[in-house]
Structure 1
């Protein structure tokens, strides 16, 4: 997922404390749900499920992360993807094939008792489907969290909302957000401060990337950063074989972007991809105002509906400053 710009962005990431993050933040919802479904699993890769076999990893992730956000003064607005553009269809199909293959490998690994391989393949088989989206939106509604439906890419809508000044920053793991023009991107806002990478657990801390500072440091325009993305490969094009972020940076800085594409991909027109990043479909029809959390409704959905422990839900609700039996959160406003 996303565009592989890490190698040239690394020097422009700055550590940021949780105390510096209060305010309204646009959350890349699909990216966040994907994280929950990928990470919140049993040792053999099986996701959290209720007694009926329904996946609940995403609901657990939403409950505890938002509780953590609220306790720290972060007011999230979840922005969901809309209909994918035709440019993305090839990427969607390729990802579907990879997930299906990973799912088969996961089942085989479970059968032979290879727990490490099973966990790895299970993560690769993660998918955010309609049921995940629907139940997530239901829980967010009970929490009083604003939800925005993007007409297209959620990252684009989130970037637009920050650029307009309605939100302070975008929360996402994907660097695509910068290509869409997000002034500020914040990554690694995990509850535990831990993340599993290639089978090992590492400590991660919140980091902030400011687009203007990044462009100034790299001596690039935003259009040139998009050119690097196109060379490396985005959700909307496969990229040039053998070109990583550092090589792409050199090509663009030398003014050889068009020549390299003509040499390697003579039939490819980068203009529609450039247009997608510069002028994506977005909407102004949204609200970032939080509603009143319904503590009893949250408990009814999670405990009665999905077998969550009432004790764990009550603990999470402490982050909302909500006690069982209360249905409002006056201190939040």
Structure 2
């Protein structure tokens, strides 16, 4: 929950929108309980034990795709204050009167339910098999995340609890979505201080007024906006003491001090008597005076102009009048707020303040901050037992994490083991792949073994062969945050390659020469395509051996027949014309009587 009200809405304008590359090589503290609660309710029914499945996939995504070094933090024994607030919140949401609620004594706390504790235990066992460090807090997980961040052990916290700022966090990531192109919200305390003018104790004061995990109610009738106005009246060093004074019934002076309402009314009446204003133009002086000698403020030769809508006189008397009214309004508001806070019992709660300002949430901070290689065989057995996955599937989905570890080690020490997983060697970069707006290299790993261990019994025809450049569908978001499965490819010579997606900067660090060669070849290929597209098109020679479509064939045959018939008709007409011409020529030589006999004979 964190701070009550709309506290995140207050901070949201000062959030930075960060992408995949922001967490590269950064250490981040993750509130494990947040992951479990969030996804157990969101994807329940999609898979068996979703808390284990999502922890497995999200951890590998965070480690390999984002390039981060995660540290998971689990809750310890909750504070009695939080136990009391949790029970009170339950009674209030159930419509039960909590006035007779028993008070939990100091040192006594209420643990979470057994089912949730079992989920946490399973996730911790999974993370330890993955080689990810897990730290247990004395109290709240977000408090330890904030302490690790403030003391420099991690660079950021991943938690939705806004009270991480109250515990001293410097950088808070509200949440990440591995399979989405949308950036995630990243909050820096320095941005909040610069934008809102609030520091850590100011935020603690706001939480005391609007409610928090240890006092779910806060002061009745005070929201985030009103609390912000209150705490801005004091500096960080005095804000908590002033709240304590208000809780005792005192009214600290603000904005020049609280003035008496009677004094304000008396001063206002005296000002009105001393400074008459024209009802037409609104400037000092009477309307009759302005009509006789004009108004020096209007600038007219005679009389004055009618004042516009919303006119406000800027003379000294009117300015003092407005200031006095505003002061009166502020004083009345401040008196009401102080009286409302003073009615609240035991405000402010000193135990809550001490809890937020404490910096001892674990005994040995940093003792478990080490990342190890996954215990593959034990992990396979664990996932097979818990989720009933096929062993080959577990090994395949673990490959992105193992390849990231290999590339990191090879980038630092190139004299180590040249084989990835003791089986594969780096062969080449196949292409650049774009997924969710993020580019990565598709790497070929040479393998001499059969691909049956990585296809889960699927036929070879179903294996996806990547083209020269692949852009996957970005609209199909996996609700379970699954991984992009490694693929297997065979060339014409029978060589077998394992294909994995790797971050570009990591491959550049591990294999700079091969990366430079690939980028150079890619640039040459693009320039050739560009040159070919710019060349003018030349007509292609026709040959008799080119096969035509059946439509073209019949169209050509009909055209030839039509041309032949037209040619035959023209030749017959030409011969007839010649015959008539010959007849006419021959008949013109005969006498008129002979031609008559031939015609009528």
Matches within 5 A, 1:173-212: 173-193=160-180, 205-212=183-190
Q: For residue 292 of structure 1, what is the aligned residue in structure 2?
A: 373
Residues 1:263 and 2:342 are matched in the alignment: yes
1:189–1:206 Cα contact (<8 Å) kept: yes
Shift of residue 143 of structure 1?
0.3
Structure 1 window deviating more from structure 2 (275-284 vs 173-182): it is 275-284
Q: Where in structure 2 are there 5+ consecutive unaligned residues?
A: 96-112, 235-241, 247-337, 410-601
The RMSD of aligned alpha carbons is 2.7
Matches within 5 A, 1:301-316: 301-308=382-389, 310=391, 313-316=394-397
Q: Where in structure 1 are there 5+ consecutive unaligned residues?
A: 50-55, 102-125, 194-202, 323-327
Q: 221, 224, 237: which one pairs with 2:199? A: 221
Q: How many angstroms apart in 2 are the aligned matches of 1:312 and 1:191?
A: 20
Q: Tell me the TM-score normalized by structure 1.
A: 0.77
Relative to structure 1, the CA distance from residue 128 to residue 88 in structure 2 (aligned partners, 3 Å threshold; closer, same or farther) is farther
1:232–1:243 Cα contact (<8 Å) kept: yes
Relative to structure 1, the CA distance from residue 127 to residue 208 in structure 2 (aligned partners, 3 Å threshold; closer, same or farther) is farther
Q: For residue 136 of structure 2, what is the aligned residue in structure 1?
A: 149
Q: How many angstroms apart in 2 are the aligned matches of 1:292 and 1:91?
A: 41
Residues 1:7 and 2:9 are matched in the alignment: yes
Residues 1:28 and 2:109 are matched in the alignment: no
Deviations 1:143-189 (A, max 9, x none): 00100011111111111111121111111111111111101111221
Shift of residue 206 of structure 1?
1.1
1:3–1:175 Cα contact (<8 Å) kept: yes
Shift of residue 231 of structure 1?
1.2
Q: For residue 134 of structure 1, what is the aligned residue in structure 2?
A: 121
Relative to structure 1, the CA distance from residue 308 to residue 229 in structure 2 (aligned partners, 3 Å threshold; closer, same or farther) is farther
Shift of residue 30 of structure 1?
1.5
**Matched length:** 285
1:99–1:127 Cα contact (<8 Å) kept: no
Deviations 1:103-133 (A, max 9, x none): xxxxxxxxxxxxxxxxxxxxxxx99721011
Deviations 1:7-52 (A, max 9, x none): 210111110111011221111122222222122223xxxx743xxx
1:152–1:281 Cα contact (<8 Å) kept: no
1:140–1:146 Cα contact (<8 Å) kept: yes
1:81–1:154 Cα contact (<8 Å) kept: yes
Q: For residue 43 of structure 2, what is the aligned residue in structure 1?
A: 40
Q: How many angstroms apart in 2 are the aligned matches of 1:93 and 1:65?
A: 32
1:78–1:147 Cα contact (<8 Å) kept: yes
Q: 83, 93, 99: which one pairs with 2:87? A: 93
2:30–2:158 Cα contact (<8 Å) kept: yes
Relative to structure 1, the CA distance from residue 139 to residue 100 in structure 2 (aligned partners, 3 Å threshold; closer, same or farther) is farther
Q: Tell me the TM-score normalized by structure 2.
A: 0.44
Q: How many angstroms apart in 1 are the aligned matches of 2:35 and 2:166?
A: 19
Q: For residue 232 of structure 1, what is the aligned residue in structure 2?
A: 210
1:185–1:210 Cα contact (<8 Å) kept: yes
Q: Secondary structure at the match of 1:321?
A: helix
